[in-house]
Amino acid sequence: MAAPVGVHLEFGGGAELLFNGVKEHQVTLPSQSDPWDMKQLLVWIRRNLLKERPELFVQGDTVRPGILVLINDADWELMGELEYQLEDQDNIVFISTLHGG
Amino acid sequence: MDQDVGSLKAQLKEKEKEVAALRARLAQMEKSRASVPELHSDVAPLTPLTAKAALSNEDIMRYSRQLLLPELGVQGQLNLSGTSVLVVGCGGLGCPLAQYLAAAGIGRLGLLDYDEVELSNLHRQVLHGEENQGQAKALSASRAVRRLNSTVDCVPYHLQLSPENALELIQQYPPEANLPCRRLGHLDFPDPMYDIVADCSDNVPTRYLVNDACVLSGKPLVSASALRMEGQLTVYNYGGGPCYRCLYPTPPPPETVTNCSDGGVLGVVPGIMGCFQALEVLKIASGRGCAAARVAPGDMADNSPGGLFSAFDLNQAPPASCGQQLLMFDGQDARFRSIRLRPKQPGCAACGEKPSVTGLIDYEAFCGSAATDKCQKLNLLSKDQRITAQDYKSILDNTEPHILLDVRPRVEVDICHLPFSLNIPLSSLEERKSEHLRLLQGRISQLKQEMAAERRPAVYVICKQGNDSQKAVQVLEKLSGSEVDAITVKDVCGGLMAWAKNIDPTFPQY
Ligand SMILES: [Zn+2]
């Protein structure tokens, strides 16, 4: 059994509006047999944090187009995207791309 | 004595005449120098821009404070004078960007905007003034920039960037001729029209269009955006870094995109981001952005006077500080954050190994939205589910019992509202917030006591422009007869803005 994982979640660029306008969330993912990965985190967020209109955040098993995911201040593409295994105290940011000027 | 006085007077008069003539000539010259830039409504070829061979005394005085910086120096300043920058959008980002580029002595500024100046622009689009309302933004921005630095060649374009004109505008030669070291001053091929493109636009289709045009013509793209209290900045297609499509291969669903006219923006936020854009452009244009970029003139320069080393051969240039990097600004927390981005993606449709984007496409179709930040009109309801502002006026005049439900967020209701309206935000209806449903039910019960028992109470829904009100009608129809008593629900087409325009001109517009 893997121990519970504490992760810091941040939402920005308007993505926080799907979470009652709250930008920062410190959450604890319960212990489970396999290590937590990003794919499971998205499912967890959808079930536990996201109450309304999930299609504005997730599409299929990943984030919808126009949301950039950052793992510890790096583009998640550099970190293995959905397969990235979460470590305790990781900082995960979901940022909606801005288009205005 | 009298004779002397007379002759002095005559001489003085003569001299005064001379002075007046000189003054008039000076004024004439100053006027023509600061003359109105010619507004372009199509893409016309420009004369090639040549970098200065040396700085004049006036240049040295004007730019002295930045010439002192080893990061710029004389060579960097000369490079700026030979660089042309296309600014796509003369709004909240484009105004401060153009201002600082002109002040720093950039050679040529193409200022492009299809729009005219409106009062609601002035809080953030700081090159335009009250007297410029109704004027083309491109022209207004050009005039302001000219006042600041008349040596900058300003080219205002009053047009919408489109797949038809973008490539022609950015480059004057086909992409195959994209040779390295093209700025060496050789004349065997024409100068490119613009060296650097700055995306200061306000909508998704234009952002993809600008990206693809930059990839196809091999131009660095300095891109910024802002909304509410936040801003983002990245340099694309530069120094081997990613392009916009590498990061965002699929456009966002249109319903997830918020523009400044809906979401709002604090003027200083695009101001800060536009200034950052100017900084990145200046580093690329001067060719002296970071230590590695300092190619010794002897390595690449030809020997003709004024020959410049290639400041930014795209494949060899080291990344600007924001290449392959996303700078995020959160004005609420006063926090900057810099994110390491993915490299250029081999599978990218635009800049990858086998690109599928080999020419510009229909970006409005690709993104499913229009290339404007103006509000798009939804059509979710049938005709008999909607009334006009005029219809609503008659309902008021006939004192027909009804509820007017305003579904805008609280912050907008605080700006203006009709005094007899009930405010329940659309989001509360969508979430079926119990306290709000109780409030609505209370008003329905009250209304029922005032009218004949067999009739259904009428609820008219209103919002700013008549989009959210349609969504609210759909929600309310589901609630009707279950969570609240059965009601007849319709929306006011065009919302409060239609009310202000057609019924009550004293009602504020925003
Ligand atoms: Zn790309």
Gap between the Cα atoms of B176 and B173, Å rounded:
8
Same fold, B31-367 and B383-502: no
ipTM: 0.94
Domain B31-367 bears CATH identifier 3.40.50.720? yes
Is B313 marked within a binding site? Answer: no
Of A59-73, B25-39, B390-404, the range with the lowest mean pLDDT is: B25-39
Contact yes or no for A73 and B337 at CB 8 A:
yes
The domain limits of chain B are 31-367, 383-502
* Strands annotated E in B171-229: 196-199, 221-227
Contact yes or no for B202 and A101 at CB 8 A:
yes
Is B436 marked within a binding site? Answer: no
Residues B85, B106 contacting (CB under 8 angstroms): yes
Q: How far A45 CA sits from the closest chain B CA (Å)?
A: 18
Whether pTM exceeds 0.90: no
> Residue B235's pLDDT is what?
97
Q: How many beta carbons lie within 10 A of that of residue A10, not counting itself?
A: 18
Confidence of residue B3 (pLDDT cuts 50, 70, 90): confident
Is B384 marked within a binding site? Answer: no
Structure tokens at B87: 């600014």
Is the predicted pLDDT of residue B374 greater than 80, yes or no?
no
Summarised one tens digit per residue, pLDDT across range A49-84 is 997 788 899 999 999 999 999 999 999 999 999 999
Q: Which residues of A touch B200 (CB under 8 A)?
A: 101
Confidence of residue B258 (pLDDT cuts 50, 70, 90): confident
CB contacts < 8 Å between A and B, how many?
Answer: 103
Q: How far is the CA of B212 from the centre of ligand 1 (A)?
A: 9
DSSP sequence for B231-295: EEEEEES-TT---HHHH-SSPPPGGG---HHHH-B-THHHHHHHHHHHHHHHHHHHT-SSGGG--
| B349: helix, strand or coil | coil
Confidence of residue B321 (pLDDT cuts 50, 70, 90): low
Q: Could you say which of 1.25.40.10, 3.40.50.720, 3.40.50.300, 3.40.250.10 is the CATH number of the domain covering B383-502? A: 3.40.250.10
For domain A5-96, the CATH class is alpha beta
Burial B6-33 (b: 16+ CB within 10 A, else e): eeeeeeeeeeeeeeeeeeeeeeeeeeee
Structure tokens at B440: 């609505």
Q: How far is the CA of B233 from the centre of ligand 1 (A)?
A: 16
Q: Which residues of B touch A64 (CB under 8 A)?
A: 252-253, 256
* Strands annotated E in B62-182: 84-88, 108-112, 153-157
Residues B446, B416 contacting (CB under 8 angstroms): no
Residues A28, A6 contacting (CB under 8 angstroms): yes
Interface check for A95 against chain B (CB to CB < 8 A): the answer is: yes
